[in-house]
């Protein structure tokens, strides 16, 4: 399931983050890429040694946790491996799949990937996120403060930036429900019950869908 989320950050949070990011604190993105992805990764990323990296990471993480659509759709157990990435003219990230396991000694699984846009589409040319699917490729270039969420197992790439600078945050989710089809079923059920509640209140139909949603989550969740 691929979906976009609007207004992940407040305008004030976006301003704070972009004010803090300093290009001199960015290092070669190849340092965090898998052995095969290094061949096609051409960007820079905020070093973990910068004195503000942890602060910005916590700010974005908190914004994701408070967003109801993000929580319902991804069923997050943990949000991890967050990176602040910068693409200037000539930079790109060729076709790749995200590592299934991330970390050095204590591993975390990547079930869901996300890209949170810090730049407006008018700030740069090119730089689209391209996700490959069985029916072809789809491109995404969202407004600042919006995020695209997609399965970590999907082949994807970032098209070459031809002008301007593309700033994004990328992160991964280890979900309580690792199977994407099961997550989609839970999402659909939750969407349906919320619609029923909004239109008719706490009806028998609402109760039955809530029961099914709860029991499936109980059956599928890995805690």
The pLDDT tens digits of the residues spanning 186-223 come to 999 999 999 999 999 999 999 999 999 999 999 999 99
Question: Integer distance in angstroms from the first to the last C-alpha of the chain?
Answer: 22
Collapsed DSSP state (helix, strand, coil) of residue 153:
coil
pLDDT in tens, 108-133: 999 999 999 999 999 999 999 999 98
Together in a domain, 188 and 99: no
Together in a domain, 79 and 148: yes
Q: Any known ligand binding at 219?
A: no
Together in a domain, 17 and 110: yes
- Return the bridge partners of 46, or none: 26
pLDDT on residue 103: 86
Together in a domain, 163 and 98: yes
User: Which are the contacts of 86, defined by CB distance < 8 A and separation ≥ 6?
Assistant: 21, 23, 26, 43, 44, 45, 46, 165, 166, 167
Alpha-carbon gap, residue 97 to 34, rounded angstroms = 9
Question: What is the token pair recorded at 194?
Answer: 């919320």
Together in a domain, 21 and 129: yes
For position 81, which CATH number holds? 2.60.120.620
The dihedrals phi and psi of 188, each to the nearest 5 degrees, come to: -65, -45
Together in a domain, 60 and 104: yes
Collapsed DSSP state (helix, strand, coil) of residue 31:
helix
**Which range is least confidently modeled, 29-33, 40-44, 86-90, 96-100?**
29-33
Q: Any known ligand binding at 166?
A: yes
Is the predicted pLDDT of residue 135 greater than 90, yes or no? Answer: no
Task: Report in angstroms the alpha-carbon separations of 115 from 101, 105, 155, 156, 169.
Answer: 18, 25, 14, 12, 6
Together in a domain, 33 and 123: yes
Together in a domain, 200 and 118: no
Together in a domain, 45 and 124: yes
Together in a domain, 60 and 84: yes
Together in a domain, 168 and 201: no
Considering its fold, how many domains does the chain have in total?
2
Give me the domain span that covers residue 194.
180-220
| Mean pLDDT value across residues 146-151 | 97
Together in a domain, 121 and 168: yes
State the pTM of this model: 0.94
């Amino acid at each position: 399931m691929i979906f976009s989320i609007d207004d992940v950050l407040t305008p004030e949070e976006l301003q704070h983050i972009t004010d803090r990011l300093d290009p001199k604190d960015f290092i070669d993105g190849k340092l965090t890429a898998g052995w095969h992805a290094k061949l096609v990764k051409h960007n820079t990323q905020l070093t973990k040694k910068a004195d503000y990296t942890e602060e910005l990471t916590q700010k974005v993480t908190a914004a994701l946790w408070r967003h109801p659509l993000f929580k319902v759709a991804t069923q997050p157990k943990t949000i991890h491996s967050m990176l602040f990435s910068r693409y200037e003219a000539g930079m790109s990230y060729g076709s790749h799949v995200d590592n299934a396991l991330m970390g050095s000694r204590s591993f975390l699984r990547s079930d869901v990937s996300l890209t949170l846009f810090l730049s407006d589409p008018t700030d740069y040319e090119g730089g689209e996120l391209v996700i490959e699917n069985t029916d072809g490729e789809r491109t995404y270039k969202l407004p600042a403060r919006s995020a695209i969420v997609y399965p970590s197992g999907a082949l994807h790439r970032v098209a070459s930036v031809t002008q301007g600078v593309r700033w994004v945050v990328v992160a991964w989710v280890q979900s309580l429900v690792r199977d994407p089809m099961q997550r989609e079923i839970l999402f659909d059920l939750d969407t349906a019950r919320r619609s029923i509640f909004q239109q008719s209140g706490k009806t028998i139909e609402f109760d039955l869908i809530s029961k099914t949603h709860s029991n499936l989550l109980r059956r599928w969740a890995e805690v």
